[in-house]
Amino acid sequence: MELRHLHYFVAVAEEENFTRAAARLHVSQPPLSRQIRDLEEELGVKLFHRDSKSVRLTDAGRVFLHEILPVLGQLENAVGVVRAVAKGERGEIHVGFAPSLTVEILPRALRYFEKAHPGVTVQLRDLSTQEMLAGLREHSLDVALMIRAPKVAMHGLIFEELRRHAICLATHPTHPLARATKVGLRQIVNERLIAYTLSDYPEYRQWLKGLFRRLDRMPTVAEEHDSSTSLIASVEAGRGIALVQQGFECLAGPRLKIRPLAPPPPPFVAGIAFRRNTLSATAAEFVSAARRASQVN
């Protein structure tokens, strides 16, 4: 039994006439009659009463019509859903992100994407850099908004730069450096540093070493935290200072003072990462939304 047998049967049942059914199906009448006979032989039942003037369903035919109409409807719906997903009009996308780096870009990207693709659900996952890289490779993430990772860590992935963030100092509001207009690295080197965990953010620790290399020493890492939320709480408690990116004040609010460094060191580079050669239509549309969001000042 093939799908065309079912469509032919429904057409004959609804038209109650082989000639009209054949015209509706854009086939000639003899092949249509033959397909109906083949269906009846396969089922082992008679589906139609035939006479010279009309074609009527048998009791078995009425039951068969009742049973297959919902099946054909579900099939038609499934075809529509699959085509919509392939076009990026429906479905689901999984996005990894680093809150401190994407506090400005992500909300705008979500608005642009939602407006263009209201039928697609976006699942957001707040993850470390290492978790995002693993998620992309394991296909649990479609895209990731993250800091630029070393080239060796990006094997098989593409990283597209979206924004550059100036480096700033985050302190408790009563800390002496909070009153400074500008802060230099030499003023920081003797402070207790609150940093991100080495296991989750190895690129951050490498960046710190490079930043203080010319001073031949770096601040003591007093505490490590696996999220911006806990880092903010620690600095707010006066347990140390932190080096963060411009825009961090959107997360910290008045709880911390954010001061620029002078002279400014090389900035943090934030962007979007995705798998090479396997970007779905939906994921590609999200990348486009992120690009657009990054162009807004």
What pLDDT digit, counting tens, does each position of 45-92 carry?
999 998 877 789 999 999 999 999 988 888 888 777 777 666 666 678
Q: What pLDDT shows up at residue 2?
A: 82
Mean pLDDT of all residues in 126-150: 93
The pTM score is 0.68
Are 244 and 170 in contact by the 8 Å Cβ rule? The answer is yes
* DSSP letter string, 33-78: HHHHHHHHHHHTS--EEE-SS-EEE-HHHHHHHHHHHHHHHHHHHH
CATH of domain 167-266: 3.40.190.10
Exposed, middle or buried by CB within 10 Å (0-12, 13-18, 19+), for 213? Answer: exposed
* DSSP letter string, 162-217: EEEE-EEEEE-TTSGGGG-SSB-HHHHTTSEEEEE-TTT-HHHHHHHHHHTGGGT-
pLDDT tens digits for range 95-107: 999 988 888 899 9
Distance of alpha carbon 227 from alpha carbon 107, whole angstroms: 19
- Domain pair 3-86 / 167-266, same fold: no
What does the domain layout of the chain look like in residue ranges?
Answer: 3-86, 91-164+270-294, 167-266
CATH class for domain 91-164+270-294?
alpha beta
Mean pLDDT of all residues in 199-217: 86
**Single-letter code of the amino acid located at 148:** R
| Closest by CA position to 198, among listed 209, 189, 187 | 209
3.30.465.10, 3.40.50.11890, 3.30.360.10, 1.10.10.10: CATH of 3-86: 1.10.10.10
Q: What pLDDT shows up at residue 230?
A: 94
Distance of alpha carbon 64 from alpha carbon 69, whole angstroms: 9
What does the block give as tokens for 190? 């003797």
148 pLDDT above the threshold of 80: yes
Q: How many angstroms separate the first and last alpha carbons of the chain?
A: 61
